[in-house]
Amino acid sequence: MPRKTFAGLVCAVAVGFVVLAVVCISGPALNETTPASAAENAVTFPPVDQLIHYTTVRRGVTREHMLTNPQALAAIKAGQPVAVGTHVVLVDYQSDVLHRYLVAQKVGEGSADWAYQWFWPDKSIKADENVAQCYSCHRSREDRHFMFTFTDALSFK
Ligand code: HEC
């Protein structure tokens, strides 16, 4: 191989590495506009002491208290949409110790306008949770306010 061609090859490889390094270093910066899966979203921490505990689900050491506000329970019974801002909360106890709050909140007028969040007992958000999964599972209940415990809310007295 002539000396010049060899030098050119080395040079090309070096340039290639530089390009690769720049792409790698700037990669995460370019991604900054993509929201993290469990960043803060539209869901606010609910006023739990103002909500009504309408049903309990028990499974082994798990005890789940389901809460929502009185206006939402009245709307559900009347077959009306719940008000924008309504919280539906699952308070999860493990062996009688508060473990987390799973929160659904009505964020718009449409029947699919719900958003989800996982809060720890100190009200901080679980950082690595993919709340899109909450939404997609609950979406199967779109005709029942996205609620699995819709019938319990309906029959609560
Ligand atoms: C694979 C399906 C599935 C996923 C994913 C899921 N849920 Fe649920 N969720 C349920 C079921 C089923 C119930 C009824 C209670 C039970 O069986 O424990 C429920 C109950 C609830 C309730 C009480 C109101 C209701 O719908 O009955 C809230 C609030 C809730 N989930 C929030 C969340 C949040 C927040 C997440 C994500 C961090 C989440 N859920 C993920 C299936 C799911």
Q: Kindly provide the residue ranges of all beta strands, DSSP E only, lying in 76-121, ordered along the sequence.
A: 87-94, 97-106, 114-119
User: For the sheet containing 114-119, what is the strand order?
Assistant: 52-59, 62-68, 87-94, 97-106, 114-119
Ligand 1 proximity of 113 Cβ (cutoff 6 Å)? no
Dist. CA 135 → ligand 1 center (Å): 9
Alpha helix (H) ranges present in the chain?
3-30, 70-78, 131-138, 150-155
Give this prediction's pTM: 0.81
Per-residue model confidence as pLDDT tens digits over 86-120: 999 999 999 999 999 999 999 999 999 999 999 99
Q: What is residue 33's predicted lDDT score, i.e. its pLDDT?
A: 38
Distance (Å, rounded) from C-alpha 99 to C-alpha 97? 6
Residue 3 C-beta-side C-alpha neighbours within 13 Å: 0
Q: What is residue 2's predicted lDDT score, i.e. its pLDDT?
A: 59
Q: Which atom of ligand 1 is nearest to the CA of 150?
A: 27
Residue count (the chain): 157
Residue 130 predicted with pLDDT over 50: yes
Q: Which atom of ligand 1 is nearest to the CA of 141?
A: 26
Ligand 1 proximity of 101 Cβ (cutoff 6 Å)? no
Q: Which atom of ligand 1 is nearest to the CA of 89?
A: 29
